[in-house]
Chain A
Amino acid sequence: MERVAIIGVSMTRFGQRDAWVRELLAEAGAAALTDAGIDGDDLDHLYVSNMASGEFEGQTGVPNALAHDLDAMPAYTARIDQTSSSGGAGVYAAWQSVASGASDLTLLVGGEKMTHRTTSEATDVIASLTHPVEYKHGVTLPSFAGLTARRYLDEYDAPRESLGKVAVKNHANGVDNPHAQFQKEVDLDTVLNSPVVADPLRLYDFCPITDGSAALVFCPESVAADYVPDDEYAVISGIGGATDTHVVHERVDPTTMGGVVDSAEIAYEMAGIGPDDIDVAELHDMFTILEFLQSEDLGFFEKGEGWKAVEAGVTDRDGDLPINTSGGLKSKGHPLGASGVAQVYEIFKQVTGDAGPRQVEAETGLACNVGGFGNCVTTAILEGSK
């Protein structure tokens, strides 16, 4: 199987944007082509990660629209929808297209336009992924987070403040990310006194609703240096995808995300490494509680100990295992289809030494993108080419 390199990356500013989904996708896609030094008509495959452009703005057929806007015909195109993990699933599809030999150059663009909808409407579009027996009770993804957070705090005797410290950390990281929706710090008192959204979680435990797009260009590692200098690309050394139950209450352990455990196991095995070898990670902190669950289910910390690592500063930018140096979804924003792509963008920047003021010492990084409430997961491991 051919090893796969990433040779071009881009992302738009995340936040409330005037642009609609087609324009957002084209902005990131064109910039990634420029970054890789290629043209649209060089592409064999073009994938678009997007959850709900039809539901949000009535625009379907986005891969074809993007191919035309980037002059990428006659590239094969497809839309990858895996709810909030559409971006990670797109990374998997793009990797697969090159690793299998079906494509020598693949562009992946993830994007979503959401902020023109009210919070209530956007929440319902996202909640539509739930099973009918859950949906009819008015469940939302934030309410799943509240249910899980209460269980976690109770089971592991974790203080409520530890969740707030995830938000404080990730907002501090976002200050140095020019693409982030929020580039300002918050203090713990602000987090703990913000309005209750899903008890015990409050407003600052949640990511915002966001517009934005991010893009990556993939090719075989064997030809990566033909496109970019040999120290400016990254290799996907491991990648795994997995699913957990659709019905969230059917999980044996409500504080374990089985899809994270299973996808990580596949990715670690492919890369020939373990969790101790990861230097930096981007986790899917759509809600603060998810950073605890994923950091444990990826094997970084023992079960029930993730909160202690945050308290001890282990996951700070200058800690032993920096998590969410980009600011995470919490600060950077969460345009559904773009998020998994933007996570890999950050890890690419870190392992190629191009993260600017966010730079940490990193040869190997991991991105974990979660759809639904852990329903679908992709875990990718990148190594810098240096």
Chain B
Amino acid sequence: MSEPESDTTERNDEQTFEAAEYAGGVVSYPPHPIGPGGTERVGTVDLREHEARVITWTTSTATPPGVREPNTLAIVEFAMGDDYDGPPVRALGQIAEQEDGSADQFDVAIGDRVEPVYADELREPGIGIREPASQSWDGFRFRPVDE
């Protein structure tokens, strides 16, 4: 069991927010072995390069073992450009904590523009039911962008 690191949220330009592109141009996050309509994966899209907006959010006050409490979550939708005509590309993720030392999570609203912020540990592995080695525990939180 690993110990949680304090303040795991930081910019990390080496981490990519990897989505899959399939033949025909459809993009999905997360990637799947087979794409919509049985299409093959033909490439990778880094979602950090696309503008994201909140389509809904919640603050959970009853969280599972190893998860911060409260835990504000959002589903965000990425703008994939005028030429993209596939299904919406979205991700579910935690809302980032403010960087003023308070550890308070940012407030968000439907329609807010957000940007991904890398965190090397989103919840503490080994505390919940899932086998720690069975998946990754790092990923991207979202924080509001001033417009």
- Listed in ascending order, the chain A residues whose CB lies under 8 Å from chain B are 55, 119-121, 123-125, 127-128, 131-140, 142-143, 146-151, 154, 195-201, 247-250, 252, 254
The CA-CA distance from A139 to B130 in the complex, in Å, is 13
The CA-CA distance from A254 to B139 in the complex, in Å, is 23
B64–A140 touching, CB < 8 Å: yes
Residues B50-99 near A (CB distance < 8 A)? 55-68, 71, 73-75, 87-88, 90-94
B58–A150 touching, CB < 8 Å: yes
Residue from the list B62, B110, B135 in contact with A142, Cβ < 8 A: B62
B92–A249 touching, CB < 8 Å: yes
Q: Which residue of chain B lies nearest to A196 when distances are taken between CB atoms in the complex?
A: B61
B62–A137 touching, CB < 8 Å: no
Residue from the list B55, B61, B130 in contact with A254, Cβ < 8 A: B55
The CA-CA distance from A4 to B70 in the complex, in Å, is 49
The CA-CA distance from A196 to B62 in the complex, in Å, is 9
B92–A140 touching, CB < 8 Å: no
A197–B135 touching, CB < 8 Å: no
Question: Is B136 in contact with chain A by the CB < 8 A criterion?
Answer: yes
The CA-CA distance from A151 to B75 in the complex, in Å, is 10
B62–A133 touching, CB < 8 Å: no
Nearest-Cβ distance from residue A16 to partner chain B, whole angstroms: 18
Q: Which residue of chain B lies nearest to A138 when distances are taken between CB atoms in the complex?
A: B67
A147–B30 touching, CB < 8 Å: no
Instruction: Known A120-B64, A247-B30; judge A137-B92 contact (CB<8 A).
Output: yes
Q: Which residue of chain B lies nearest to A248 when distances are taken between CB atoms in the complex?
A: B92
The CA-CA distance from A127 to B64 in the complex, in Å, is 9
A55–B64 touching, CB < 8 Å: no
B73–A254 touching, CB < 8 Å: no
Name the interface size band of chain B. Answer: 35 or more
Nearest-Cβ distance from residue A129 to partner chain B, whole angstroms: 11
Instruction: Known A128-B130, A133-B139, A249-B91; judge A138-B30 contact (CB<8 A).
Output: no
Question: Is B106 in contact with chain A by the CB < 8 A criterion?
Answer: no
A150–B110 touching, CB < 8 Å: yes
Residues in chain A near residue B128, CB distance under 8 A: 124, 127-128
The CA-CA distance from A199 to B137 in the complex, in Å, is 25
Question: Is B117 in contact with chain A by the CB < 8 A criterion?
Answer: no
B63–A140 touching, CB < 8 Å: yes
Q: Which residue of chain B lies nearest to A131 when distances are taken between CB atoms in the complex?
A: B30
Instruction: Known A131-B30, A137-B122, A248-B92; judge A199-B58 contact (CB<8 A).
Output: yes
Among B88, B123, B128, chain A packs the most CB atoms within 10 A around the CB of: B128
Residues in chain A near residue B28, CB distance under 8 A: 250
Residues in chain B near residue A140, CB distance under 8 A: 60, 62-64
B73–A135 touching, CB < 8 Å: no
Nearest-Cβ distance from residue B95 to partner chain A, whole angstroms: 10
Nearest-Cβ distance from residue A44 to partner chain B, whole angstroms: 36
Among A125, A132, A248, A249, chain B packs the most CB atoms within 10 A around the CB of: A249
- Listed in ascending order, the chain B residues whose CB lies under 8 Å from chain A are 28-30, 55-68, 71, 73-75, 87-88, 90-94, 110, 122-123, 128-130, 134-139
Nearest-Cβ distance from residue B126 to partner chain A, whole angstroms: 12
Residue from the list B64, B110, B129 in contact with A138, Cβ < 8 A: B64
B58–A135 touching, CB < 8 Å: no
Among B61, B65, B130, B138, chain A packs the most CB atoms within 10 A around the CB of: B61
Residues in chain B near residue A55, CB distance under 8 A: 129
The CA-CA distance from A248 to B91 in the complex, in Å, is 9
21 contacts across the A-B interface (CB closer than 8 A): A55-B129, A121-B65, A127-B64, A128-B129, A131-B30, A133-B139, A137-B94, A138-B73, A140-B60, A140-B64, A143-B73, A146-B59, A146-B60, A150-B110, A151-B55, A195-B61, A196-B61, A197-B62, A247-B30, A249-B90, A250-B29
Nearest-Cβ distance from residue B19 to partner chain A, whole angstroms: 11
Residues in chain B near residue A249, CB distance under 8 A: 75, 90-92
Instruction: Known A120-B64, A151-B56, A197-B60; judge A135-B93 contact (CB<8 A).
Output: no
Residues in chain A near residue B71, CB distance under 8 A: 137-138, 143
A134–B92 touching, CB < 8 Å: yes
New A-B contacts (16) at CB < 8 Å, excluding given A149-B58, A254-B75: A121-B64, A123-B62, A124-B64, A125-B129, A133-B91, A134-B92, A136-B138, A138-B68, A138-B73, A151-B55, A154-B56, A154-B110, A196-B61, A201-B58, A248-B92, A249-B92
The CA-CA distance from A127 to B73 in the complex, in Å, is 15
A147–B63 touching, CB < 8 Å: no
Residues in chain A near residue B138, CB distance under 8 A: 136
Residues in chain A near residue B58, CB distance under 8 A: 143, 146-147, 149-150, 198-201
